Structure 1
Amino acid sequence: MNWDDLRLVLAVVREGTLSGAARQLSVTHSTVFRRLGAIEEQIGVRLFERFRDGYVPTPAGESAAETAARLEDEVLTLERRLSGQDLRPSGVVRITTTDTLGTILMRHLPAMRELHPEIQVEVAISNVMANLSRREAEIAIRPTPDPPEILVGRRVADISHAIYGSNVYLSQRQETELSAHDWIALDDALASTVIGRWIHENLRTARIACRVDALPALRDAALAGLGLALLPCYLGDPASGLRRLTPKTLAEPRSALWLLTHDDLKRTARIRATLDFLAKAFASERALLEGRQTNASSPRPRREISSGRGAC
């Protein structure tokens, strides 16, 4: 079996279906089906049991996948080390970030292009942390209180949060306890985020008017007047139709903005140049990220609001 054969077997094991493996390998479903059949015929061993809901590896398939995973790690390690020897700030740099921070990133990319015209930036917008070890991306821009230990990075700024409501909603509601308000919450897909955990800990008895699976939708639902929403200040403050429930940001949840990469890549010229630029670019946004830069309509002084649990 050659490396391409092993990669295909590993993809089928990881995804559990031919269609999933096809997406991972950027080929068609029929190509995976045909190649897998040819591999099994060539070696004379059945690698997978076929079921209606997917493919399950046989002991031989598991053994092949384990070998493929070890080889993949070695190949990726070699690629990172060779890439780390590049001394010129040129080539492709793949950056992954969230849907909300992507907006901030985009407004700085023209200056990046002017400063480093030989660097081509690819941006992957995803709220799932990319696997930098597998080269899914080379730089991650992430809001997190604690980045993964396997990555190296720079802490650029704190990320502050506040409770927001639309001007219309807040003008009509005078409740003093958070649990008496209508709320927009995050669904299970984002339950592990700092906002998701805060909602779970502080709003167990509150009325949830709507659940969403993305922070822009959380902001938009608040703008529509569905209820209150906990938002990072860099997302809530620029929205002219929103204002904070109280002028101050919350002590909790706590988070920070990190620029992350893999240790093998940090000395690569194009990665180092990009990280240096991004650190300065996002540092210039620190007032917005830390909740010290608000729009004209936010905040307006209001009496103190209580959750009944001392959360605010």
Structure 2
Amino acid sequence: MPYLLSVCEAGSLAGAARMLRVNHSTVFRRIEAVEARLGVRLFERLARGYIMTPAGERFYERAILLCEGMDELERELGGQDLRLEGPLTVTTTDSLLHCLAPIFAQFRHTYPDVELRLLSDVQALDLMQRDADIALRPTNNPPEHWIGRDLFSLSFATYAHRDYWQAVQDDGPEYYHWIMLGDDLNQSPMSKITLRRKHQEAKSTVLNTMMSVFDMVNAGFGIAAMPCYLGEKHETLVRVDEPDDSAGWRLWLLAHPDVRRSARVNAFYDFATKHITDEVLGIS
């Protein structure tokens, strides 16, 4: 079924092959085999791609309902698990994982039978699809359908290595080198702060993860806007400007309502709420 659904959604064999990370010919053989077994054509093969026949549209509608039902059943059964053992997947950002590694280590020692998986992929994960059980995320707009705890407010500021700042602060802002986190729409708090404070003639370097920005700042490469929980925690860095919390971002602990009843999720919720504080993050 994944092969058929992928062709329905992608509209081509090549697109489906990319989604599934398989060979183009593998998708073709699977589609041909299903159509032969059913005795019906599910797709019209056109020059511009694969178009669903009425039978294909009917299959797609039923398949989506089946997948949604299986996802709901998995969440409900997983949410009723009362054992303090087994896998628990937590997604967070690379910068929070860097700062909170001791907290995660403490949780593992407290609950040794819980198999903790930590994901810090830059792509957004979907709790509805069970990519993760819990999300620990900075946001100003948490999803309404998730159960969440608001841990505390987040501020952002610009930082530089003390040696770099001492060397350039008398040169004028047009000579500062800025390090920016890639943000196509410039909607993140870091991008907005950078655009407000960066001189129009100042040069910049763009990176794709928050920790790579931090590493370059810590190496004396330039100035960057970053979360205060990251910048304030390292004595090698100095804060160039005052903290800014105007974006209204907060640190949220989130889970889907169905899995919130799981003993493992409850244990992590209670542990994180107790131990993750602004003092731990170095922003007291």
Under a length normalisation based on structure 1, what TM-score does the superposition of the two structures give? 0.78
Where 2:251 maps in the other structure, the secondary structure is strand
Residue of structure 2 in register with 1:262 after alignment: 256
Residue of structure 1 in register with 2:151 after alignment: 156
Q: Map 1:113-124; keep pairs closer than 5 Å.
A: 113-124=108-119
1:213 aligns with 2:201: no
1:74 aligns with 2:69: yes
Cα distance change, pair 21–107 in 1 and its aligned pair in 2 (3 A): same
Q: CA deviation at 1:134?
A: 0.7
Q: CA deviation at 1:276?
A: 1.3
Residue of structure 2 in register with 1:37 after alignment: 32
Q: CA deviation at 1:243?
A: 1.0
Q: Map 1:290-301; keep pairs closer than 5 Å.
A: 291-292=283-284
Residue of structure 2 in register with 1:287 after alignment: 279
- Superposed CA offset, 1:199-256 (max 9, x none): 345548352421111111212222333321101122222334321114x422434421
Structure 1 distance, partners of 2:53, 2:193, is: 44
Structure 2 distance, partners of 1:108, 1:48, is: 55
Q: CA deviation at 1:144?
A: 0.9
Residue of structure 1 in register with 2:83 after alignment: 88
Structure 1 distance, partners of 2:73, 2:135, is: 21
Residue of structure 2 in register with 1:58 after alignment: 52
Q: Map 1:128-207; keep pairs closer than 5 Å.
A: 128-174=123-169, 181-188=176-183, 191-200=186-195, 203=198, 205=200, 207=202
Return 100-109 or 138-147, whichever deviates more.
100-109
Cα distance change, pair 104–167 in 1 and its aligned pair in 2 (3 A): closer
Paired residues of 1:266 and 1:272 also in contact (CA < 8 A): yes
Q: CA deviation at 1:177?
A: 7.6
- Superposed CA offset, 1:251-295 (max 9, x none): 434421111000111112121112112222312xx1254733xxx
Q: Unaligned stretches of 5+ in structure 2?
A: none
Paired residues of 1:194 and 1:254 also in contact (CA < 8 A): no
Report the AA paired with residue 265 of structure 1: V
Aligned pairs, number: 279
Q: CA deviation at 1:42?
A: 2.5
Structure 2 counterpart of 1:47, from 43, 57, 60 = 43
Structure 1 distance, partners of 2:199, 2:47, is: 42
Under a length normalisation based on structure 2, what TM-score does the superposition of the two structures give? 0.84
Cα distance change, pair 182–34 in 1 and its aligned pair in 2 (3 A): same
1:252 aligns with 2:246: yes
Cα distance change, pair 148–275 in 1 and its aligned pair in 2 (3 A): same
Structure 1 distance, partners of 2:257, 2:89, is: 16
Structure 2 distance, partners of 1:150, 1:176, is: 51
- Superposed CA offset, 1:79-100 (max 9, x none): 1112222222222111111111
- Superposed CA offset, 1:51-87 (max 9, x none): 69xx544244444333322221121111111222222
Structure 1 distance, partners of 2:5, 2:95, is: 34
Residue of structure 1 in register with 2:270 after alignment: 276
Where 1:134 maps in the other structure, the secondary structure is coil
Paired residues of 1:190 and 1:213 also in contact (CA < 8 A): no
Paired residues of 1:195 and 1:253 also in contact (CA < 8 A): no
Where 1:259 maps in the other structure, the secondary structure is strand
Return 224-233 or 192-201, whichever deviates more.
192-201
Structure 1 distance, partners of 2:245, 2:264, is: 37
Structure 2 distance, partners of 1:221, 1:99, is: 15
Two-structure CA RMSD over aligned residues (Å): 2.8
